[in-house]
Amino acid sequence: MTRSGPPAAHGRAPGVPPRQDATPGPEDRTSVRDVLAAYVGLTKPRVIELLLLTTVPVMFFAARGVPPLGLVVATVVGGTLSAGSASALNCVYDRDIDEQMRRTRRRALPRHIVSPRSALVFGLALGVVSTVVLAIWVNLLSAGLALAANAFYVLVYTMVLKRRTAQNIVWGGLAGCFPALIGWTAVTNELAWAPVILFLVVFFWTPPHTWALALRYREDYRQVDVPMLPVLLPASKVAVQIIAYAVVMVATSLLLWPVAGTGWFYPLAAVVLGAVFLVESVALWRRSRGTEDLSEIRPMRLFHSSNLYLSLLFVAVAIDPLVAGSFG
């Protein structure tokens, strides 16, 4: 009795190789829309939103009112392209660990929708165009600051700090502070203490914000050997660090009042928003005592609160001169 082999696939006789020019099935095709969405995804649009939210309000503050619309548009376009460039280049370098992490495995490079070479060219092109836009339609100082932020994020944070030290996000986060300087220099073409204070607010805000997210995904970071602080310390000790940075952040935010001579609206908003942030930070610490169960710690609550804090604080920066002008 002869043992029969497996059934022929798609009607082919056994032993006949498949056609090399076979048309891909629907599941193998990538639409133009998918590719475009993948390139947009390389720029990390949600990160760009947050960066622009710290750029445009500072322009209002520097102008002590409403800045010229054309200048705002040029700064937003240039800043968006610059941030998108840094994010795309980060995706190229980190594609090996992005494939292994739940939070990032759906990005374009892990899914092989965009090739590393194409993503690299895309990121570099965005960087060049952003520098040209800012240099021509804003000013050279703003263009230089944006280029410096891009280079720092890619060369220092992504390629040096991220995989080597628990202080990665503390110093690597400097790149995300530059939009406050860029917004100011776009209007004034010079630096001053006011944007430096806002730069420092973002600097001290970044670790609590990022460590809350890293708590949620600490197993991912542990798996790929990225030494985020929540990988190395218990959640309760991470929460203590978060509280320390939050206290310094709130204190720094209040310095803008005497240094820049704001009206009453900004310090009031800074006090209220800072108090809420501190309460949430202490609540995270309380929830983390004696447990490492993320369902009890709920770190994403602080993460979302931190986004709201920074957004509303910089909205207050924009509104303060308008309110002062109305009641002055």
Q: What is the pLDDT of residues 192-205, one digit of tens each?
A: 999 999 999 999 99
* Model pLDDT, residue 31: 84
* Model pLDDT, residue 27: 40
SS3 category, 164: coil
Q: Which stretches within the chain are classed as H helix?
A: 32-42, 45-53, 56-63, 69-93, 95-98, 116-137, 140-151, 168-172, 178-188, 193-216, 218-223, 229-232, 235-260, 265-288, 294-297, 299-327
Locate CATH 1.20.120 in the chain.
192-328
Q: Over the stretch 134-171, which tens digit does the pLDDT of each residue have?
A: 999 999 999 999 999 999 999 999 999 999 999 999 99
Name every residue whose Cβ is closer than 8 Å to that of residue 171 and which is 6 or more positions away in sequence. Answer: 156, 157, 161
The Cα 321–Cα 309 span in angstroms is 20
Residues present in the chain in total? 328
The Cα 117–Cα 23 span in angstroms is 26
Q: What is the pTM of this model?
A: 0.89
CATH class of this structure's domain 192-328: mainly alpha
The Cα 190–Cα 258 span in angstroms is 20
* Model pLDDT, residue 50: 86
The Cα 57–Cα 316 span in angstroms is 8
Distances (CA, A) of 171 to 16, 97, 153, 200, 328: 60, 21, 10, 12, 40
Name the stretches of the chain with pLDDT < 70.
1-29, 325-328
Locate CATH 1.10.357.140 in the chain.
34-189
Q: Which CATH architecture has domain 34-189?
A: Orthogonal Bundle (1.10)
* Model pLDDT, residue 7: 40
